[in-house]
Amino acid sequence: MMNKVELLGHYGSDITHAQSAWTSTSRDLTEDKLNRVDKLLNMLASEGHHTPFEKSSLHFLVTVDQATHIHLLKHRIGVSINGESARYKELKEDKTYIPDDWPREWEEKLLDLSQVTNMAYHECIEALAPVVGRKRAKESARFFKMFNSQITMDVTFNWRSFYHFQQLRNSEHAQIEVRELAQEMLDIVKNLEGNPFEKTIEAFKL
């Protein structure tokens, strides 16, 4: 299966970011201030005054391969991540990522090998459980899981950390799998009802 992402929820908006910045003077929202939100956000983004952008949050559920999982784990500041644990439970569903830009022959070879190792994973748990206990069997049988094995993760960014993630991962230099994930996340945010982050997206030129 392909990697996938869905938005579980979000908090904040352009106004949230602007009002946070205005706290240093006055948080009162006047018509004049509302007309200057875009200019303020542009200034904050371009001058590196990014603290106000920490006040919003974007909450995603993703299913990704192990390589993308590792890329996500490298983002720790302003990011909260919880994921499936193959140590505490047997992964009953064998979720496997197969690149779609490979020749068909190599896609099939990877799929065949994945099916063999997934079967060995389940068989190993059953064989080892009477010997070393089910807990140790589950955690050690994971060694049969390949790098294209997928897990589901719960990921929350504040806007500042989301921008940093987009800078690094939605780039031509990033691995295609994490780049596609980053782009899909951004597309979801851009298409939120009411476009609550429209001016913030423009300010950061995303």
For residue 197, give every residue at least 6 positions away whose Cβ sits within 8 Å of its Cβ, in sequence order, or none.
Answer: 12, 13, 14, 56, 159, 189, 190
- What are the tens digits of pLDDT across the range 136-167? 999 999 999 999 999 999 999 999 999 999 99
pTM of the model: 0.92
Indicate the residue type of 53.
F
- Asked whether residue 123 carries a pLDDT value surpassing 90, the answer given is yes
- For residue 27, is pLDDT > 80? no
Query: 160-195: per-residue pLDDT in tens?
Result: 999 999 999 999 999 999 999 999 999 999 999 999
Q: What's the pLDDT at 54?
A: 97
For position 85, what pLDDT does the model report? 86
Domain locations in the chain?
4-84+153-203, 104-144
Q: What is the pLDDT of residue 24?
A: 72
Dihedral over alpha carbons 196, 199, 205, 206 (to 10 degrees): 10
pLDDT for position 87: 83
Percent of the chain beyond pLDDT 90? 87
pLDDT band at 89 (very low <50, low <70, confident <90, very high): confident
Mean pLDDT of 110-120: 98
pLDDT mean over 129-138? 96
Mean of the pLDDT values across residues 20-28?
79
Quote the pLDDT of residue 105. 98
Q: How far is residue 67 from each of residues 28, 123, 142, 157, measured CA to CA in Å?
A: 46, 25, 16, 19
CATH code of the region 4-84+153-203: 3.30.1360.170
pLDDT value at position 30?
75
Q: Quick one: pLDDT at residue 23?
A: 81
